Amino acid sequence: MNGAWQRLSAGKAADTALAAVVALLIGYAIVDPPGPSSWWPVWSAWPVAAVLGFPIALRRRRPLPMLGVAATGAVLATVAGAVAAGAIWLSFVPGVLVLYQVAATTTTGRSAASLVACVSGATAAVLVFYAQVLPGLPPAPEPSELPPYWSVEIGAICVFMGAGWAAGAVVRWKRETSARLARHLAEAAVADERRRIARELHDVIGHSMGLIAVKATVANHVAEARPQEARAALAVIEQTSQSALTEIRRMLGLLRADGDPHDELTPAPGLTDLPELASHARSAGVDVDLVVREDAASPPAVALSVYRIVQEALTNVITHAAPTRCSVRVDIDGRDAVIEVVDDGPHPRREPATARHGGHGLIGMRERAAMYGGTLTAGPRPEGGFRVTARLPYGSPT
């Protein structure tokens, strides 16, 4: 806010200085013109110049009204003979500068209409001056000076007016282009964030529903014969569903967030939550051997990505291979996060597992690795089972 105010104040100061300079030039041109002098008193040159240059000082605050004042003042001064032949075009320079501001801040149609009005008024004023005022003026004191030509005056005014309008229009186009680009980047950032949240939801729902499905099947089969085991399975279902609902509410809260820094959200999962993830997998019939080695603290975003990759890999194990044995290795050394999830495959007495190639789960894991310029490989092992290996190079070596 302070920076914008300083820029605005600096612009006003620059416009005031520019108005003074232009007014001095107009005054000197009236006092010592290239053609016949005005019939007005010499001292009147300075008030006329001040009135003609005044709109420049306020062009940022009220561009269209100031353009009307500048153009009207120049036309009246020309028709009334307050300016001198050969320097009439200089009286329209304030209009050129204000027209630039109009073209830079208003619509193209409005600024183009203003350009046409200014050129038409200036042309008519110059023609009236040369037809009615100039014949009554005394001749120039020095015959060697160039004689005034109305066509040169009109041509100069048209060129300067057109250049001022074109420069302002280009500035406005660049501003609009920059604004559109900024909006596009903001929309792209929002879309990226929504895709990230969609991946988070996929991971949470996929893992939780896979575990719930397995435990519900167990509870259904042993409800009558082993009620204690059925109750244990239902307890896992209850805990898993509550945990999933908490994470889903957190991510939906991100979608609804209004930018309030005081919003209290559940912390994102990380490396400390991996043992609980392994415990859920064990309750679904997967004998998980978890080893986490963290030589240096990892950034929260890296920890979240590691957690999600392990979560999705264990979900695939539960869905396609449980009951089975599985080892999870996470190694973080301050530069790389290396993850390896290996399972022994489904039990021989289990129905053949569905293929694990492709699907949103593996795609999501690859995207998380690609965020850090890393790699992810996933495929069956020759000796049976499935291996997922990911490397996230989040730091540079020192």
Average pLDDT, the chain: 78
Q: What angle do CA 215, 220, 226 make, to 5 degrees?
A: 95
Q: Give me the numbers of helices (H) and strands (E) for the chain, helices first please.
A: 11, 5
pLDDT at 330: 93
Taking the CB of residue 245, how many other CB atoms lie within 10 A of it? 12
* Beta strands 336-343; 386-393: pairing state: antiparallel
Higher pLDDT pick, 258 / 65: 65
| Mean pLDDT confidence for 110-130 | 91
* Confidence check: pLDDT of 109 > 70: yes
Q: What is the pTM of this model?
A: 0.52
Q: What is the pLDDT of residues 170-222, one digit of tens each?
A: 999 998 888 788 778 767 766 776 676 666 666 666 666 666 777 677 667 76
Domains of the chain as residue ranges with CATH: 2-138+148-184 (no CATH), 194-256+268-393 (3.30.565.10)
* Amino acid 165: pLDDT: 94
For the chain, the straight-line distance linking the first and the last C-alpha, in angstroms and rounded, comes to 40
Res 257 pLDDT > 60: no
pLDDT above 70 (res 319): yes
Give the pLDDT band (50/70/90) at residue 258. Answer: very low
Q: How confident is the model at residue 308 (pLDDT cuts 50, 70, 90)?
A: confident
Q: Model confidence over 340-373: pLDDT tens digits? A: 999 988 866 555 445 555 555 677 788 778 878 8
**In this model, does residue 160 exceed pLDDT 90?**
yes
pLDDT score, position 387: 92
Angle at 256 between CA 250 and CA 262, to 5 degrees: 70
Q: Which of 32-36, 94-98, 206-210 has the highest mean pLDDT?
A: 94-98
Rounded to an integer, the average pLDDT of 7-21 is 77
Which helix (H) or strand (E) is 294 found in, with range?
strand 286-294
Q: Which of 60-64, 139-143, 226-230 has the highest mean pLDDT?
A: 60-64
Percent of the chain with pLDDT over 90: 19
- Rounded Cα distance between 33 and 22, Å, is 15
What pLDDT is stored for residue 123 in this prediction? Answer: 92
Lowest mean pLDDT among 27-31, 119-123, 151-155, 221-225: 221-225
pLDDT band at 144 (very low <50, low <70, confident <90, very high): very low
Write the DSSP string, 95-120: HHHHHHHHHHHS-HHHHHHHHHHHHH
Higher pLDDT, 53 or 245: 53
Q: What is the pLDDT of residue 398?
A: 42
pLDDT of residue 349: 54
124-140 pLDDT per residue, tens: 998 988 888 877 776 65
What are the phi and psi torsion angles at 147 (to 5°)?
A: -70, 145
Contact between 150 and 126 under an 8 Å Cβ cutoff? The reply is yes
Comparing 144-158, 181-195, 213-227, 253-267, which segment has the lowest mean pLDDT? 253-267
